Amino acid sequence: MAFFATDAVRYDSDIVKQKYVFFFISFAKVQL
């Protein structure tokens, strides 16, 4: 169960990273 919870947290953090990277790229495009 703990292992599953760890995987879920890791998965959530990956989604957050992807959203942040996507937002950063979009922001950079607007600046250019």
Collapsing DSSP to helix, strand or coil, 4 comes out as helix
> Which two structure tokens, joined as six digits, stand for 31?
């600046």
- Residue 11 CA from chain centroid, whole number: 9
Residue 17's pLDDT is: 87
Position 22 scores a pLDDT of 92
**Ranges of each domain in the chain:** 1-32
pLDDT tens digits along 1-32: 455 666 766 777 888 888 889 999 999 898 87
